[in-house]
Structure 1
Amino acid sequence: MEKLHNIKIENFKFQSGDTLDIDLSYQIFGQPLNDAPVILVNHALTGNSQVCGKHGWWQNLIGPDKCIDTNIYTVLAFNVPGNGYAPTNDNQIKNHKIMSARDIAHIFGIGLEKLKIDCLFAVIGGSVGGGIAWELAALYPKLIEHLIPIASDWKATDWLIANCHIQEAILLHSRNPLADARMHAMTLYRTPESFSHKFKRSRNDTGIFNAASWLNHHGLKLQERFQLSAYKIMNQILMTIDITKDRGNFIDVASQIKSNIHIIAINSDLFFKPEENWSSYVELKSVKENVWIHELKSIHGHDAFLIEFDQLQRFLRPIFSPSKSVKADIPLIHKCA
């Protein structure tokens, strides 16, 4: 595992008005800082800064000679404070309700400033990580060359908020909160078609339906490796994604972002619905030329961004391949390279 580093941020003021000292941990992969273009990778709800390598959650996408090639780029990944991955950030957030996605983007921005990074070649993230990417771009409109939110959105919809509310109720009231919340979440991360394709109403040797056994397995696995406090924090961040809060409408905010915006939706996503992404794309394209949208085709729903790597790499290679990233139709905004 690459070494965990730590940045101390004193007296950080949350949108709620609460003030705390924050330990922001991070890992760096590939080229040393200041030697190559920097790519910031934002982790998803149960993820962390270990984005590549043997135990990396995005190891199929990031690494030597891979789509995001660590022979070429510096890959930086922060841990959301309180996600439980770094010993210094365990239980530092006592009240998860004070947090928002914009707070995390602000904390990441301070971290970048302390690392003396004033230009990012790309910010990429899936699910809540993509929402944080949107928030970072809205806070720092000239910071990012390529903004790449995957299976995500610039806002939490009513549907997403409703499901996060159910998750919160499970986390607060269940006898087995981590396992039960995870089981509920997995039914949203996949689709009915994905379940049918995988299980075909089969049973295991004990007579239990394999669909139920699979959910039990995922619940127990998360219970073994994740913390209840971390789940509450990440769920709270997920339901507070909104780049327009106290700023105006979507076009007012997003049109100020100088980045090339590459939206990647999933046709079967039940969590961040693709229709929302397409609507945002059409609306933004009317005032901003350098915005694109791609759609992963999969029966596997939201989790397709962790499954359909061949499709995902086809969309990303034109951005990250050195011979293609300067194509006329994907302009360099800040010359981060």
Structure 2
Amino acid sequence: MKSELQHLEITDFKTHSGVVYISIPLSYHVYGRELGTAPVVLVNHALTGNSEVTGRFGWWKELVGANKLIDTENYTVIAFNVPGNGYDNFLIESYKDFTARDIAEIFALGLKQLNIDSLFAVIGGSVGGGIAWEMAALYPDLIENLIPVASDWKSTDWLIANCRIQEQILLNSSNPVHDARLHAMLCYRTPESFKEKFGRSLNSELNMYNVESWLLHHGKKLEERFELASYKLLNQLLATIDITKDGGSFLEVASRIKSNIYIVAVDSDLFFTAEENKAAFLALSQLKKNVYYSVIESVHGHDAFLIEFKQLSELLSDVFDTELIKN
């Protein structure tokens, strides 16, 4: 499935830190049905992702496409690039100017330019799910189905601490993107995942353990395709998810969200833990009847949302049942 990268411009945008940007380019892909002819699904990418969600190189092509979970024969699928992720060659050097909430607002302004005033669903993994939460908090009537996957409504102390280590590596390493990726991979997976994958096996050619060569491979691959400025910005966004930032408790803010909320956790996630997600569900379910909780069972930790496609499709099959939306 091919789709041309398209472009909008967000003008005179004031960040929540008070910095005004005269112009911010916002690029995006549209897949499936033509705008205005079908329910719209917005897909939010994770830290090193982009708007290419399906097709040959799509990072979620197992979930988005013809006859997939999010069926492009029946939905219009939109995916924005987080401004500064580098996919469209636009970079933001002053990364501290932005929070996850700013990106949520920019996405909403992009939808407005496209004359989209309602969304059938917003789904996102990791920081993309956090941005989805922020969009729902800012615009409680916008989204019919809110689906944060391997994510949460806030950055926990543990997540903020890891993001701080990432930032220190990015600021101080002589090979920053490469080295930060090595550390990040330890947070994206689990000890059990490494044991299953490597079993302490050796790479005789490189005279090191296979887990070491695997880490170095991932560091090199990201260094080749991802800009330092982009990594700094997305890491900053990951650390600043908080729908209560403008005041009010979680329950006060979340109870105003009209969306059906489908929280999807990963039982082994070290980044956005299942315990935190379940606590949010249990608290919110006392006030809202249309909140649901499901769990991906996997040894692979946070990265399970990029691996366990069959489970994710099964868990969300009722949400995207196209028979329910056909006239």
Say yes or no: TM over 0.5: yes
The letter for the 2-side match of 1:311 is Q
Structure 1 CA distance for aligned equivalents of residues 323 and 153 of structure 2: 30
User: CA offsets, 1:196-215, max 9 Å, x none?
Assistant: 00000001122210000000
Structure 1 CA distance for aligned equivalents of residues 15 and 224 of structure 2: 30
Equivalent residue for 2:38, pick from 36, 40, 45 = 36
User: 1:121-140 to 2 correspondence within 5 Å?
Assistant: 121-140=120-139
Query: Aligned Cα RMSD in Å?
Result: 1.0
Match of 1:329 in 2: none
Alpha-carbon deviation of 1:325?
Answer: 6.2
CA contact (8 A) 1:188 1:271 kept: yes
User: CA offsets, 1:72-110, max 9 Å, x none?
Assistant: 0000000000000013xx22x220000000000000010
User: CA offsets, 1:255-275, max 9 Å, x none?
Assistant: 000000000000000010110
Alpha-carbon deviation of 1:184?
Answer: 0.4
Report runs of 4+ in structure 1 exceeding 2 Å deviation. 323-326
Alpha-carbon deviation of 1:10?
Answer: 1.0
Alpha-carbon deviation of 1:247?
Answer: 1.9
CA contact (8 A) 1:179 1:219 kept: yes
CA contact (8 A) 1:151 1:265 kept: yes
Aligned length: 324
User: CA offsets, 1:157-206, max 9 Å, x none?
Assistant: 00000000000000000011001100100000000000000000001122
User: CA offsets, 1:280-299, max 9 Å, x none?
Assistant: 00000000000000000000
Match of 1:314 in 2: 314
Alpha-carbon deviation of 1:246?
Answer: 2.2
User: 1:1-337 to 2 correspondence within 5 Å?
Assistant: 1-20=2-21, 21-87=23-89, 90-91=90-91, 93-206=92-205, 207-324=207-324
Alpha-carbon deviation of 1:324?
Answer: 4.8
Structure 1 CA distance for aligned equivalents of residues 268 and 317 of structure 2: 23
User: CA offsets, 1:15-67, max 9 Å, x none?
Assistant: 11101111011110001100110000000000000000000000000001111
The letter for the 1-side match of 2:34 is P
Structure 2 CA distance for aligned equivalents of residues 181 and 6 of structure 1: 30
The letter for the 2-side match of 1:304 is A
The letter for the 2-side match of 1:17 is G
> Secondary structure of 2:74's partner?
coil
Structure 2 CA distance for aligned equivalents of residues 324 and 74 of structure 1: 16
User: CA offsets, 1:2-21, max 9 Å, x none?
Assistant: 11111111110001110111
Structure 2 CA distance for aligned equivalents of residues 70 and 246 of structure 1: 36
> Secondary structure of 1:310's partner?
helix
Match of 1:331 in 2: none
The letter for the 2-side match of 1:136 is M
The letter for the 2-side match of 1:45 is L
Aligned residues with identical type, % of pairs: 60
The letter for the 1-side match of 2:307 is I
The letter for the 1-side match of 2:171 is L
CA contact (8 A) 1:318 1:325 kept: no
Gaps of 5+ in 1: 327-336
The letter for the 2-side match of 1:8 is E
Match of 1:333 in 2: none
> Secondary structure of 1:319's partner?
coil
Alpha-carbon deviation of 1:316?
Answer: 1.1
Structure 2 CA distance for aligned equivalents of residues 94 and 18 of structure 1: 13
CA contact (8 A) 1:96 1:236 kept: yes
